[in-house]
Amino acid sequence: MKELKYCPNCGKETLSYVNNRKWSCSECGLSLYNNVAAAVGLVAIIKKNNRDHILLVKRGKMPRKGFLAVPGGFVDPGESAEEAAVRECHEEIGMTPKSITYLTSATNNYQYKDIDYVTCDIFFKATFEESDGDRLLSQLKAEDSNEIQGFELHPLEKSEDIDKIPLAFKSAVVALNSMFK
């Protein structure tokens, strides 16, 4: 983690990092906590050739550019996890799920511009009006084509299938494995 030196409250070079949890200013007494960020992910199981597949997006930006992820992202201030899941799904694949149900949560480290963000990733299982894999793939479109390079369906019938997928984040491995417990 980058060292912060200057207090955002008083501007003095008096910040120290305490117990790997917060920055404290010896001059004005400010405590700035290093809290966990909330993020969401959607696990969508899609039928293709009568087999279950997982819908994944190919990341177009760092971190982990070129790797695969479930559609998702950070929860915005004032937003519930469910609202964030629906919003992120629409932003990343251009569709709104018919329904979402809680699946699991997992910790993750998200490194962005040399800063490690510790996250709690909350996963939901998503269903869509369109359940045919080929037709669904033809309807997908990300709001930001720089963020998402493409879409893929990967077979997901047993836990060993997960090891064959180049997933961007370890929390997605946890989420997908939870479906086999």
Torsion of CA 146, 148, 152, 154, to 10 degrees: 140
Torsion of CA 46, 52, 57, 63, to 10 degrees: 140
Q: How confident is the model at residue 6 (pLDDT cuts 50, 70, 90)?
A: very high
Q: How confident is the model at residue 108 (pLDDT cuts 50, 70, 90)?
A: very high
> Do β-strands 115-127 and 99-112 pair in parallel, antiparallel, or remain unpaired?
antiparallel
Q: What ranges do the domains of the chain cover?
A: 1-34, 37-178
28-36 average pLDDT score: 91
Between 34 and 115, name the one with better pLDDT: 34
pLDDT of 2 > 70? The answer is no
Q: Among 57-61, 126-130, 155-159, which is the least confidently predicted range?
A: 126-130
Choose among 123, 129, 132: nearest CA to 46. Answer: 132
The three-state (H, E, C) secondary structure of 124-153, written as one string: EEEECCCCEHHHHHHHCCCCCCCCEEEEEE
133-153 average pLDDT score: 88
Between 70 and 4, name the one with better pLDDT: 70
Identify whether the C-beta of residue 26 lies closer than 8 Å to the C-beta of residue 73. Answer: no
The pLDDT, as a whole number, for residue 116 is 79
pLDDT above 90 as % of the chain: 69
pLDDT above 70 as % of the chain: 97
Reported pTM: 0.87
Tens digit of each residue's pLDDT (9 = 90 or more) over 49-92: 888 899 999 999 999 999 999 999 999 999 999 999 999 999 99
Note if 3 is an active site residue: no
Identify whether the C-beta of residue 69 lies closer than 8 Å to the C-beta of residue 119. Answer: no
State the maximum Cα–Cα separation within the chain, in Å, rounded to a whole number.
Answer: 66
Q: Which listed residue (79, 82, 130, 147) is catalytic? A: 147
What kind of fold does domain 37-178 have according to CATH? Nucleoside Triphosphate Pyrophosphohydrolase (3.90.79)
pLDDT of 114 > 80? The answer is no
Identify whether the C-beta of residue 121 lies closer than 8 Å to the C-beta of residue 171. Answer: yes
pLDDT of 1 > 60? The answer is no
Q: How confident is the model at residue 98 (pLDDT cuts 50, 70, 90)?
A: very high
Identify whether the C-beta of residue 173 lies closer than 8 Å to the C-beta of residue 156. Answer: no
Question: In 55-168, which ranges are continuous DSSP H helix?
Answer: 81-93, 133-139
The pLDDT, as a whole number, for residue 131 is 67
The answer for residues whose C-beta is within 8 angstroms of residue 181's C-beta and 6 or more apart is none
